[in-house]
Each structure stands twice: as structure tokens, then as C-alpha cells.
Amino acid sequence: MNATDRTPADLLSSALAADPGRPLVTFYDDATGERVELSVATFANWVAKTANLLQDELSVEPGDRVALLLPAHWQTAVWLLACASVGVVADMAGDPAAADVAVSGPDPESLEAARACRGSRIALALRPLGGRFPQPPEGFADYAVEVPGQGDRFVPYAPVDPEEPALIVAGREFTGAEVVERARAEAPDLGLTGPASRVLSGLPFDTWEGLGTGLYGPLATGGSVVLCRNLDRLGDDALDKRVESEHVTVIAR
């Protein structure tokens, strides 16, 4: 990654320029058997489309807050980088009543909480291959319906200031520059040393540890992540096989 990268969106741009075809996020859901692998280019395309949705369709502006009521999932990672691309604050598990946009997963508890948002509400079915809801929840736009038609390239209306708030997690606020700096500083202790590093993470995304290990650390070091949901359902033998087949170098669970 480039020493001049100051925001998470910068890190993704550098990864795209360096090697667009390499795997970046491999996602498993051990409750459903789903496996999805996204190259840097594919991930960046999802980010661009989601950023265009935020900027053009939802009319968010730098400094606005997006409450992400989502589990550790590849689509959550997309939303985090899309928020960083636009310059809005991604508030993990934040209060929807204080947010300009609320983004919820399909579970009833999250959907009910998201209804407190007076702005736009987006629901993610979190189905394999980004599938749609059979019937969108009332009062929500279906992400899988809205995002495909968005542009494949994204240009923010205003440059993103790395010193402005970019992320809130576990009640702590980070600027974009702080996200990058902390991810870089902690990477060696996580065993993330460069492009050959591949971390398997079963950590949730509602803590810095989970985000640093499962997204920002690999992105900051040119590595990749095997992101696992419901990892507790996987036996030790199956985990060993996954570590071997995915060429994992670091395990965080």
C-alpha cells in the first residue's frame, strides 16, 4: 500500500491499482454453506455502486451518519468502504434515530430498530450472491434491487477529508486517517506483514478488533481475509481443512 494513503477508500484504490485480480474478501456462512470470493476488482465495483447509491439516490453528504445494523459479512465490508468513499460516517450498530440513513440486515430485531431512522432505510437480505428479499420489508428499499443499476465508477462530489469523522464503533469515533494509521500500526501484531498474509476471522464487526482484523488490517497491508460467519458451527477438522485450502496464515476467532 502507498504511504500517502490517508483514508480507507485510498487503501482500496491502491489495492485496485496494484493487483485487481487477487482475492481480497472470501466469505463463508457456516449456517448456510455459502462461500463467496471477491477479487479486489469485484469488491471495488460493489463499493462504487454502493457509494453511488448513497451519494446520488440517498443524497447523503460528507458528515452525514449511516447506521449499519449488520453482522460481519462481505456486504457489510462493502458498505464500510462505500461510506468512506463518500465521506459519511459509518456507525456500526449505531442508533438509527440519530442517523441520516439506516442499513439493516434481515433479522426482525434489526429491522425494527432501523425504523427509528427518520431518513432513508435500506434492508439487506444477506442471501447468497447478493440475492433479493422475496418480499422487501415494509418501509425499506431492498439493497439488492437498488444497487445493480448504479454506476460502476464513483467520484465524490467533494474530496473526502481524512481528518473528518469516518467511523464509529463500540462508541468510539475515528477519522479516516486514524482508521488507516491504527490498522497499519496493529498489523504486525496480528501477523499481517504483506500480500502473502491471509487472515481467517470469525470476529464480529461491532468492535475495532473485529474490523481491524477482518477488514482494515488486510486492506492496509495488501493482504486478504477469509471472513467467517457462524464459525462456531464448524468442527475443528473442518476448520483445519479450510485453513489449508484457503492458505490462511493467521487465525482470529
Residue 182: how many other CB atoms lie within 10 Å: 17
Given a contact cutoff of 8 angstroms between Cβ atoms, the answer to whether 73 and 229 are in contact is: yes
Minimum mean pLDDT range among 52-61, 124-133, 162-171: 124-133
CA 124, 33, 239, 188 torsion: positive or negative? negative
Label residue 195 by pLDDT band (50, 70, 90). Answer: very high
Domain annotation for the chain: domains and CATH numbers: 8-252 (3.40.50.12780)
Residue 1 confidence (pLDDT): 63
- What would the mean pLDDT of 119-129 be, rounded to a whole number? 95
In terms of pTM, does the model score above 0.95? yes
Strands 89-92 and 101-104 come out as: unpaired
Residue 2 confidence (pLDDT): 75
Residue 54 confidence (pLDDT): 98
Q: Which amino acid is at 205?
A: F
**pLDDT per residue over 199-212, tens digit each?**
999 999 999 999 99
Dist CA 69 CA 171 (whole Å):
14
The candidate with the shortest Cα–Cα distance to 78, out of 149, 178, 8, is 8
Average pLDDT, the chain: 97
Predicted confidence (pLDDT) at residue 3 exceeds the cutoff of 80:
no
Residue 209: how many other CB atoms lie within 10 Å: 18
- Contacts of residues 231-240 at CB distance under 8 Å and 24 or more positions apart, as own/partner, are 231/28, 231/30, 231/202, 232/30, 232/202, 233/30, 233/31, 234/30
**pLDDT per residue over 79-103, tens digit each?**
999 999 999 999 999 999 999 999 9
- What would the mean pLDDT of 235-252 be, rounded to a whole number? 97
- What would the mean pLDDT of 9-38 be, rounded to a whole number? 97
Q: For residue 20, count CB atoms less than 10 angstroms from its CB and return exposed for 0-12, middle for 13-18, buried for 19 or more.
A: middle
Given a contact cutoff of 8 angstroms between Cβ atoms, the answer to whether 199 and 216 are in contact is: no
Given a contact cutoff of 8 angstroms between Cβ atoms, the answer to whether 148 and 46 are in contact is: no
Given a contact cutoff of 8 angstroms between Cβ atoms, the answer to whether 164 and 86 are in contact is: no
Residues 6 or more apart in contact with residue 113 via CB below 8 angstroms: 69, 96, 104
- What would the mean pLDDT of 170-193 be, rounded to a whole number? 96
DSSP state of 160: P
Strands 34-39 and 23-29 come out as: antiparallel
Residue 129 confidence (pLDDT): 84
Predicted confidence (pLDDT) at residue 230 exceeds the cutoff of 70:
yes
